[in-house]
Amino acid sequence: MQAPNANVLSVRYTTLSDRFRSLWTFYQFLGGVLKHLGEGPMPYTYDFQALHERLKELVHKIGVESTADATPELDQLERELDRIHRELARIENQFAPSVMRKFFDHIKRQDEKVLTALLKFYLLSNFFEQDTLDKLDILFTRLAETPGKDDRKVPKDPADLLSSFKLLSQITDLPPMSLAEETPLTQAVQAIRKELESIGDYKSLVESKVYERYRRLKQRLGKAALHPSMLVEITTTNIVAKNRFKELYEAEESKVIENTNRIFDIERYLERHPELASEGLKRQLEEFRTIRVRYEARARKDNVKRDDISEMTRAMQAVLAQFDPAAKRSLHARPEGATVSPTARTASHKIQPPDEERLPTESKGADEKVEGTSLDNLVPPDPLLNETLHKIMFALEMIVWDRLPTQITSAPEIHNLNLEPREIEIYRRLAEGNVEKTHPEWELDRFILTSAALRVKMEEETNEITRLDDANNPDRLYEVLEHSAQSLERARDSDRRFQWFIDDMLFRGETQQLEDIYRSRFRFLHAYSGLWLAHQRSGGLTPL
């Protein structure tokens, strides 16, 4: 004789065992979330090990050769699992979907079995509120993604996803959906995905409101979004949406950092020229500081929202708009007899830094023609150093040239660049055309200027790597490490060139400039070694 309904009992036992594993996994998951949030131990404890032993003891009663009826024990286990589920759901209900998203971002690597167990916990819920659907959306998306290039995620094969989602859909009762109903909903999700892929910049992304529209679409779908075929489209679109936001956000974040440094320069400039700080400019600077502090606090917690960076951009533009007229008034009000740098007179049509970097400069009458210079006339085009060279030229344009180079080094306009007096003198000579292009000294001057720019660039990259290390921002750090590797490679070649100029001077017996060359070289090596060490410490591949 075998137990009545042995096959039915076996299926029921398998279902309960699977549910037990799901609850045990979810219990450990909640403990990890509470620990991550610093909220202490789990407020609910249960002896899962003892319950597991009870399940194992039932195995001999479930087998096809058994004569015992395990129905009462299975009924009791089912009631016990229901009670555990209710207790865990009560604790879990306190956490918003965003908490789960941040926790998974924190642990980075996710096991597919763990994700499946967590999904089963939610799918066995009796009520599918919006928060539950949002959490399911997060978990299904994690299950659907796999590592791609450049730390991005890519969707798994649609056929594999459909198969996995069909198995999970058997756990819960889904409302029926005909092909006529499903087709337009699928097309709506695909249209969102296509729109995301076509947007080319962060501002357009925010202004399109595409994320808000996509969220409203998923809310309208409700539980119907859990149909396997719909889940394939939704999770694929979710992954595209995350990648697109990250890509455009990082590009915009680079601009924010660049513009923030410009505003720091403006603040230092205003310390020297307080008469330029109008009430409107002071108000805009104060608002920018408030927004920047809030933005950086959220960035440290990896909690930057889509509108935060837009708010920072608006605040920056407001400061720059207020500062422009003040700078123009300053240049028209220079002391009588003071000499403006040669490039400053024609910067508005000769020098071509980005528009945001360029301040209005002293204007001349229509009949006055002043011979200026451009960056291309000073040094050959150099994609690696052009931005830093523009920064140096822009700072020196603001200098009144009635002082010696040794006095100019302490001017607030260029103090943060830490230029050597000789480097300032070389820039002045090159800008004024005082050295013939056929003369060997012209080549040395151009090298000293570009090596100074590379030194400034390496010092800035060292500081940025240290800042990102402290802020625990691995994605942005990886990008900076890639750029700084190029600086290190160039620095290695530049150091060899320093040695070539030194050897040439010694060979020709022209040693009067050696001390200045050595000083520039040693400062260069200090920046080079500092960046190399920071780059290696942070996991970068340092050129040897």
Tokens of 48: 């899962």
The average confidence (pLDDT) of the chain is 79
Tokens of 202: 């962060």
Domain ranges of the chain: 273-333
Residue by residue, DSSP assigns 135-170 as HHHHHHHHHHEEE-GGG-EEEPPHHHHHHHHHHHHT
Residue type for position 287: E
Among the listed ranges 67-81, 303-317, 530-544, which one has the minimum average pLDDT value?
303-317
* Backbone φ/ψ region at 28: left (φ over 0), alpha (ψ -120 to 50), beta: alpha
Model confidence pLDDT, tens digit, residues 135-194 = 999 999 999 998 887 778 899 999 999 999 999 988 888 888 888 888 999 999 999 999
Region 490-510: mean pLDDT is 88
**Alpha helices in 93-157, H assignment, sequence order:** 97-107, 112-123, 130-144
Return the minimum-mean-pLDDT range out of 103-117, 248-262, 393-407. Answer: 393-407
> Quick one: which of 274, 517, 265 has its CA closest to 397?
265
Q: What separation in angstroms does the CA of 468 have from each of 123, 250, 289, 306?
A: 40, 14, 20, 20
The one-character DSSP state at 415 is: G
Least confident of 20-29, 227-236, 376-385, 518-527: 376-385
- How many Cα neighbours within 13 Å face the side chain of 241? 22
Close Cβ partners of 279 (under 8 Å, ≥ 6 residues apart): none
Q: Which residues pair with 252 in a beta bridge?
A: none
pLDDT at 1: 41
Pairwise CA distance, residues 149 & 147, whole Å: 7
CA 279 to chain centre: 34
Segment 46-78, tens digit of pLDDT: 899 999 988 888 887 776 455 467 788 889 999
Residues 133 and 222 sit within 8 Å (Cβ to Cβ): yes
As separate numbers, helices (DSSP H) first and strands (DSSP E) second, the chain gives 22, 2
Task: Tell me the pLDDT tens digit for each residue of 417-471.
Answer: 888 888 888 888 887 777 777 677 888 888 999 999 999 999 999 988 888 877 7
